């Protein structure tokens, strides 16, 4: 079985309802932090890259700003359009955006960058659509010692689940990617305490469906795998499951103002 690594638009569309249950609450505080670090100003054009269900776009609305959310998953955008009617939404690949050069004052991206197989190229495309002097604020999961495999790695190995520890950067990696893409005034930060909080077994099931491809397993094997994960998962107040996820933050500026 394969741990979801680079989700296809179709996979995200099929799992949109599980994403809402398992991931939207976990990413809500991360979205707040990304938007806060963007230092939005009145009347700016804000591009929310990999918008998903529109969490970043929702927070950017106001003060006369034009807010555009872009995502390749039609199912995610269907939810975003209902949730954030004041924003515009575009269905497109964020590595090849059908947008003019320099059209955005600010680009934001909440845990989207790691879905690009070439992170430097993606950041270069995001630079292209940001105007000279424009700003970038983003987050990614990490660092590697604050992600699910830190508590589930032995279980993944036992059940021959493919996982990719090198997918998760440290702050220096993130800064290097941005620098190589041409961004300037780069700053990074980390919050390793960020977690996916799952209130009950139903929300744990939603996270399992969203994060794993389990269609080729029989019910007994899947149930045993789930039981092992639930037993190993850290618990929070009220018995909430807390899956470590982490958050790295980066801000930068397009330097040719």
- 84: DSSP letter: -
Helix, strand, or coil here: 204? helix
Specify the pLDDT at position 3: 45
Neighbours of 147 (CB within 10 A): 21
* Phi, psi values for residue 92, rounded to 5°: -165, 160
pTM, two decimal places? 0.93
Helix %, strand %, coil % of the chain (to 5): 45, 25, 30
* Dist. CA 175–CA 22, nearest whole Å: 29
Averaged confidence pLDDT in the chain: 92
Where along the chain do its domains lie?
2-254
DSSP string, 156-183: HHHTT-B--GGGS--HHHHHHHHHHHTE
* Dist. CA 130–CA 135, nearest whole Å: 7
Specify the pLDDT at position 4: 45
Specify the pLDDT at position 31: 97
Q: pLDDT of 148-194, one tens digit each?
A: 999 999 999 999 887 776 778 999 999 999 999 999 999 999 999 99
Specify the pLDDT at position 8: 65
Specify the pLDDT at position 5: 44
Q: pLDDT of 65-95, one tens digit each?
A: 999 999 999 999 999 999 999 999 999 999 9
Superfamily classification of domain 2-254: Vaccinia Virus protein VP39 (3.40.50.150)
4-18, 38-52, 96-110, 218-232: least confidently modelled range: 4-18
Going from the C-alpha of 1 to that of each of 141, 153, 157, 161, 211, the distances in angstroms are: 22, 14, 11, 5, 11
Residue 162, classified by CB atoms within 10 Å of its CB into exposed (0-12), middle (13-18) or buried (19+), is exposed
Q: How confident is the model at residue 212 (pLDDT cuts 50, 70, 90)?
A: confident
């Amino acid at each position: 079985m394969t741990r979801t690594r680079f989700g296809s638009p179709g996979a995200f569309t099929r799992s949109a309802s599980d994403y809402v249950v398992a991931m939207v609450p976990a990413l809500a505080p991360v979205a707040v932090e990304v938007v806060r670090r963007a230092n939005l100003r009145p009347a700016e054009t804000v591009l929310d890259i990999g918008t998903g269900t529109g969490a970043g776009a929702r927070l950017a609305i106001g003060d006369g700003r034009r807010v555009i959310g872009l995502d390749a998953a039609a199912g995610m955008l269907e939810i975003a359009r209902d949730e954030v009617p004041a924003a515009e939404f575009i269905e497109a690949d964020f590595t090849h955006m059908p947008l003019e050069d320099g059209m955005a004052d600010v680009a934001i991206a909440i845990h989207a960058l790691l879905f690009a197989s070439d992170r430097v190229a993606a950041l270069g495309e995001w630079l292209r659509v940001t105007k000279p002097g424009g700003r970038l604020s983003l987050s990614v999961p990490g660092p590697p010692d604050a992600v699910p495999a830190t508590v589930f790695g032995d279980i993944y190995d036992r059940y021959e689940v493919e996982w990719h520890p090198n997918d998760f950067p440290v702050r220096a990696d993130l800064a290097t990617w941005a620098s190589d893409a041409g961004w300037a005034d780069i700053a990074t930060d980390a919050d390793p305490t960020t977690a996916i909080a799952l209130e009950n077994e139903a929300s744990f099931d939603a996270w399992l469906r969203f994060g794993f491809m389990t269609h080729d397993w029989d019910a007994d094997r899947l149930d045993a795998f789930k039981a092992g994960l639930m037993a190993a998962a850290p618990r929070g107040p009220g018995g909430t499951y807390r899956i470590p996820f982490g958050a790295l933050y980066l801000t930068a500026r397009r330097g040719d103002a």
